[in-house]
């Protein structure tokens, strides 16, 4: 398969041919690119030189510099001054160009302005602020933040940091605020307590109430912390021994759970408690059975200690 080299396209411009021409045939007096108010910029020239030096400049895959064939047999360079200077800096004798004709001088000037606007894209196609924000929003949506489910500020910040944004591209603060504006966010991050200050906060909330209470610290959103909850349920049952209708408060708090998952964690805990309660009722019926036999303890002989 033969790939066609890229050609410039512009209304009022006709491409006659694309290929190499001798740099010395470019008329130094005919280069009149009026679109460049400040002339040649050193940085783009240096970038092109690096590409040429390292063999990474592939002119056929980019829109080439544009020239016009003059009556005297030489060429007028319409666009591509940075690339021309880079070729000269690397002692090249030929340059890949598009030889074109314009319908009028005004169209040539218009093309020069548009081409200059895109000129740096031949070295690289940098991400714009809009590109970066779109990437962050797309990642967040892929991770499930859709249909009204909002990421926390910490989550947005994490995604923005993963995009490795350079200071030349954009301000991280600007990206962060733009992402929040587009997808939304929540400030409802989990306030974490230690086991001790969790008890202090719960006791302050509970006040002087005569209703018994416990404070529990959980560390996952699944709801399944069975050993902890079994001990808690037996503690609750002990409190209800003489009054089955006695209310009992459990103040629960979560540690190491992201804010966006706290609602899920709370719902899962309610579901698991209900399942555990049903399991305890099932076991209670076993214990109440007239055929029930208590477990038989059979201690093993102790291993003699080593001398």
CATH number for the domain spanning 82: value is 3.90.1530.10
Position 296 scores a pLDDT of 95
- Domain end position, chosen among 100, 122, 144: 122
pLDDT tens profile 173-230:
888 888 888 887 665 555 567 778 888 889 999 999 999 999 998 888 888 887 889 9
Other Cβ atoms closer than 10 A to 207: 6
CA distances from 134 to 87, 101, 128 (A): 37, 39, 10
Q: Is residue 305 part of a domain?
A: no
Q: Is residue 224 part of a domain?
A: yes
Q: Compute the distance between CA of residue 49 and CA of residue 123 in angstroms, rounded to an integer.
A: 10
Position 120 scores a pLDDT of 41
Q: Check whether residue 52 and residue 134 sit in a common domain.
A: no
Q: Is residue 99 part of a domain?
A: yes
Q: Is residue 260 part of a domain?
A: yes
Query: How many domains is the chain partitioned into structurally?
Result: 3
Residue holding tokens 């587009």?
182
Position 209 scores a pLDDT of 93
pTM > 0.75: yes or no: no
Position 10 scores a pLDDT of 86
What are the start-end ranges of the E strands in 170-264?
213-218, 249-254
Q: Check whether residue 144 and residue 213 sit in a common domain.
A: no
What are the start-end ranges of the E strands in 82-169?
94-102
Q: Check whether residue 109 and residue 173 sit in a common domain.
A: no
Domain that holds residue 67: 13-122
Q: Is residue 92 part of a domain?
A: yes
What tokens were used for 61? 């895959």
Q: Is residue 303 part of a domain?
A: no
Q: Compute the distance between CA of residue 7 and CA of residue 10 in angstroms, rounded to an integer.
A: 10
Q: Is residue 189 part of a domain?
A: no
Q: Check whether residue 118 and residue 133 sit in a common domain.
A: no
Given a cut of 50, the residues of the chain with pLDDT beneath it are 1, 35, 37, 118-125
Q: Is residue 240 part of a domain?
A: yes
Position 142 scores a pLDDT of 75
Position 263 scores a pLDDT of 82
């Amino acid at each position: 398969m033969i790939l066609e080299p890229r050609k410039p396209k512009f209304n009022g411009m006709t491409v006659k041919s694309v290929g190499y021409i001798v740099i010395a045939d470019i008329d130094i007096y005919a280069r009149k690119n009026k679109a460049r108010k400040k002339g040649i910029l050193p940085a783009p020239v240096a970038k092109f030189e690096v590409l040429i030096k390292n063999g990474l400049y592939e002119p056929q895959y980019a829109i080439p510099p544009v020239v016009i064939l003059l009556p005297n047999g030489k060429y007028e360079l319409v666009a591509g001054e940075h690339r021309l200077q880079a070729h000269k800096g690397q002692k090249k004798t030929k340059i890949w160009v598009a030889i074109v004709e314009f319908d009028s001088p005004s169209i040539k000037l218009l093309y020069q302005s548009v081409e200059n606007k895109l000129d740096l894209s031949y070295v690289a196609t940098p991400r714009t602020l809009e590109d970066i924000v779109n990437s962050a929003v797309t990642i967040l949506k892929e991770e499930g933040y859709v249909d009204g489910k909002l990421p926390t500020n910490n989550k947005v910040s994490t995604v923005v940091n993963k995009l490795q944004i350079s200071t030349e591209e954009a301000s991280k603060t600007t990206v962060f605020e733009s992402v929040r504006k587009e997808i939304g966010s929540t400030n409802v991050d989990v306030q974490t307590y230690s086991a001790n200050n969790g008890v202090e906060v719960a006791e302050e909330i509970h006040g002087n109430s005569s209703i018994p209470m416990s404070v529990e610290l959980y560390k996952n959103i699944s709801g399944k912390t069975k050993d902890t909850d079994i001990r808690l349920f037996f503690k609750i049952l002990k409190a209800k021994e003489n009054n089955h209708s006695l209310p009992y408060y459990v103040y629960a708090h979560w540690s190491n759970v992201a804010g966006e998952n706290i609602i899920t964690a709370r719902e899962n805990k309610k579901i698991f408690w209900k399942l555990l309660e049903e399991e305890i009722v099932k076991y209670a019926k076993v214990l109440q059975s007239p055929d029930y036999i208590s477990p038989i303890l059979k201690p093993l002989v102790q291993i003699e200690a080593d001398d």
